[in-house]
Amino acid sequence: MGDIRITRVEQSQTKIKSVPIAVTPEGFWCCPTPVGFQKSLKPQNPLNKLKPSPPAPKSSSQKKEVSVSERKAGPAPSRLVVSDAQQCNDDPERPPPSPSVPAQRAPRPKLESMPKKVAIEFGEPGTCDIKLLLLGKQGFCVKLSVHKDVLKEKSSFFADKLSEQSGLSCLQVDDCEDVEIYVETVGLMYCKEMKQRLMKQSVSRILRILKVAEFLGFSSCIQSCLEYLEAVPWNGEEEEEKVISTVLRLQGDGIGVNPVLKRVSPDTSNAPKDTLSHIVELVLKSNEERGRREMKSIVLKLLRENNSLPSSAGSVDICNDMIYKSCRSCLDSLLCLFNQAAEPEFKEMPSDNKEPVVKHIALEADNLSWLLEILIDKQAAENFTVMWANHQELAALHGKLPIAFRYHVSCISGRLYVSIGRGEVLPSKNTRQLLLQTWLQPLINDYNWLQHGCRTFDRKLVEEGIGRTILTLPLEDQQSILLSWVGSFLKTGDGCPNLQRAFEVWWRRTFIRPYAEAMPDA
């Protein structure tokens, strides 16, 4: 923030410029408005000519030097002056100019390089007992007329400095990063209703004030800034990150930052797990089509973001356990519904009575498809493949139901074939073999319906996934499955998956490029 020391400001030529400042209800001049303060930093038009300084007098002892502030009649309350000769302390030991040296015209300095000085007085005129000089890194200098009692009461930093030397009349802070906010923070020491003063500020400006207040040990200002940050909305993730990083820096100083941090951090350690489980359960049980679709997309997107963060590694197992628990629940419900729909009595029921069961089957199949998508993104779908491949009871009931009841289940099998074909899931050879043995024929039976009755079904993608899954098996198993497919394809044509590419690869492996002779003996 800057070092503080006792010093004096050397005389130098400066631009004289008025900077607008605001008056508070307490009746003192406060910090310049941001616009006015920034305008004072801008150089004047370089076309304006600077008047040359008059020649030095022949004898310095004949005329008494008068400062700009002395030439002004009666300082107005909180008057703002930019001076070319403002000094923190008069220097009686400064030697007068030598009369033997002829006066020379000073070289005309560049307007942009000349230091700029602003004087601000706080409190009642004439009652200030100490000067505070703020030197900005860009050559901007601000002199504040303030009160020792106010500095000691409000700022632990100033209290320590003033207690070291009781007779100080001037303090200087060098290399201020934010002179404007420094002046405003000192002005806030005179405010009785600080909350109202901060209310119309932006979050970014409050963070700047908080930084200066922390440096000065201005505890009441820090508390008011935290109350503001706790109540005001934050715009965007970038601003939220700035707020949280600033507040966390204050956490170890015994300052009450918990109200702000509660906005982004739960009170209990197991809250995220319980909350995620509750959200997933709400989505799985919802019957409203649009709401389900939107929330499934949102949750899937946010979980993908979590997967990309290194910090989520520790919670992966917990999340996977929760997802698999939901998978088992959906599978049990689906099996129960299939058993109900396969009963002879169910077939004799009116269509209106069947409709709730059909909708429930579609809902549970859609839930399983969504959970599978989550597990694939988390690279944790191998156990799901094992569960699905071993569900022969569900596959046996599949053939007993009308196609309109069961085709949603075949979409799950198709998605597994696609994921294996892409290398997103790497189940064992036995699992891949069992998956094709259990669920390929039910998928072929529903294929014609899937092409025309399922909007989300991608025929080319599924056919490529089935073919690649088959080609991962030993050559004998490839032959058995593909010869069975040839029989189905010759009977139904477009009503069967087109596995010609896989068939061609198998053919070349078997008849054109046999590798059996090159294989070592077992």
Q: Please tell me the distance from the alpha carbon of residue 326 to that of residue 322, in angstroms, as a whole number.
A: 6
Q: Please tell me the distance from the alpha carbon of residue 259 to that of residue 242, in angstroms, as a whole number.
A: 16
Question: pTM value?
Answer: 0.63
Residue 348's pLDDT is what? Answer: 85
137, two tokens: 């890194």
Which residues are within 8 A (CB) of 57 and not within 5 positions of it... i.e. 6 or more apart? Answer: 63
- Residue type at position 21: I
- Residue type at position 122: F
- Residue type at position 172: Q
10-residue averages of pLDDT along the chain (522 residues): 42 36 39 47 44 45 35 32 39 40 48 57 75 80 88 90 80 84 90 86 92 90 90 90 88 74 71 78 89 92 75 62 92 95 88 90 94 93 95 93 92 95 94 96 92 86 95 94 93 90 93 67 50
Contact assessment for residue 30 and residue 198, using Cβ atoms and an 8 Å cutoff:
no
Query: What is the DSSP pairing of strand 130-136 with strand 170-176?
Result: parallel
Residue 315's pLDDT is what? Answer: 56
Residue 5's pLDDT is what? Answer: 43
Q: What is the largest CA-CA distance in the chain?
A: 127
Within a 13 Å sphere around the CA of 191, how many CA atoms are in the beta-carbon half? 20
SS3 assignment, position 97? coil
92, two tokens: 């009686």
3-state helix, strand, coil in the chain (%, to 5): 55, 5, 35
Contact assessment for residue 358 and residue 364, using Cβ atoms and an 8 Å cutoff:
no
